[in-house]
Amino acid sequence: MRLRNVPGADAYLTAHPLVIKNETRYRGTWKETFQNPENPIHIEIGMGKGQFLLTLAKENPSINYIGIERYSSVLLRALERFDNDEEYKDVNNIRFICMDATNLPEVFAVGEIDKIYLNFSDPWPKARHAKRRLTSKQFFERYDKILAFDGVVEFKTDNRELFDFSLEQVELAGWVLLAKTYDLHNDPTLSRGNVMTEYEEKFSGQGHPIHKLIAMRQ
């Protein structure tokens, strides 16, 4: 996937106080970084323009959130939303990292993360790229290294092929499927309290059903 470079994005991220630089130095000390070590930490991998995670951070001040985005030009948009929207002016339980998710075990220690959100991830449609999908067995192995004992992964997508692939990978990885739906917005249980992403609003508005699964280790 090729994204347009945004001039000044890297400088903006470097100067921003909530964007973590040299993130591997924080491994094992993330709770102390938030200065409230009793609170759980949830991360979103591929946070896009930030609507989902910023909403959660605002609504749940007793949970710490870390947004992970690979592309500086995309993370820039999330930061601009955070900095310029008055509704987030009192939100202080969120941090941001610009990094590739393949490096998760180098950034977070064993058991340090309580929940992982994956929303509308890149489907990497070519078969030879399957291991790059964030719901591949290879990535579940990475999640295994950072999740707490009872930690969970929540995944949403409108891509049926990717969702079916993900269900298969949950089983292959030896994880347990706690819940699934092929039509989230019409599911009386899983739709309760659902926070939509930008993509979710767009795709559901076009009539695409949204799929969701929740998985944890055995």
- Kindly list the domain boundaries of the chain, sorted by start residue: 9-217
pLDDT band at 1 (very low <50, low <70, confident <90, very high): very low
Please check whether residue 69 is in contact with residue 78, taking contact to mean a CB–CB distance below 8 angstroms.
yes
Q: Please, what is the average pLDDT of the chain?
A: 95
| 70 contacts: CB under 8 Å, gap ≥ 6 | 46, 98, 99, 100, 101
pLDDT, residue 8, reads 85
Q: For residue 41, what pLDDT band results from cuts at 50, 70 and 90?
A: very high
Compute the average pLDDT of residues 173-186: 98
Binding site as annotated, residues for substrate: 126, 158, 197-200
At residue 99, the pLDDT reads: 96
41, two tokens = 């930490």
Band of pLDDT at residue 4, cut at 50, 70 and 90: low
Q: What is the CA 5 to chain-centroid distance, rounded? A: 22
Residues making up the annotated binding site are 44, 69, 100, 122, 126, 158, 197-200
* Spatial distance between the Cα atoms of 23 and 30, rounded to a whole number of angstroms: 10
Read off the pLDDT of each residue in 172-198 and give the average, rounded to a whole number: 97
Neighbours of 53 (CB within 10 A): 27
CB 66 within 8 A of CB 41: yes
Name the percent of the chain lying above pLDDT 90.
94
Q: What pLDDT is recorded for position 5? A: 73
**Strands 147-157 and 175-181, bridge-based pairing:** unpaired
pTM of the model: 0.95
The tens digit of pLDDT for each residue in 128-169 reads 999 999 999 999 999 999 999 999 999 999 999 999 999 999
Kindly indicate whether the domain formed by 9-217 is annotated with CATH number 3.40.640.10: no
Q: How confident is the model at residue 2 (pLDDT cuts 50, 70, 90)?
A: very low
Residues making up the chain, counted from first to last: 218
Does an H or E element contain 167, and which?
A: helix 160-172
Q: Say if CB 28 and CB 112 are below 8 A apart.
A: yes
Q: What is the pLDDT of residues 88-103, one digit of tens each?
A: 999 999 999 999 999 9
Q: Which helix (H) or strand (E) holds 180?
A: strand 175-181
In the prediction, which pLDDT does 138 show?
97
| Sheet arrangement for strand 94-98 | 94-98, 64-69, 41-45, 113-119, 147-157, 211-217, 175-181
By C-alpha distance, which of 52, 3, 2 is closest to 198?
52
- Report, as residue numbers or ranges, the catalytic residues: 122
Q: What is the rounded average pLDDT of the residues 201-218?
A: 96
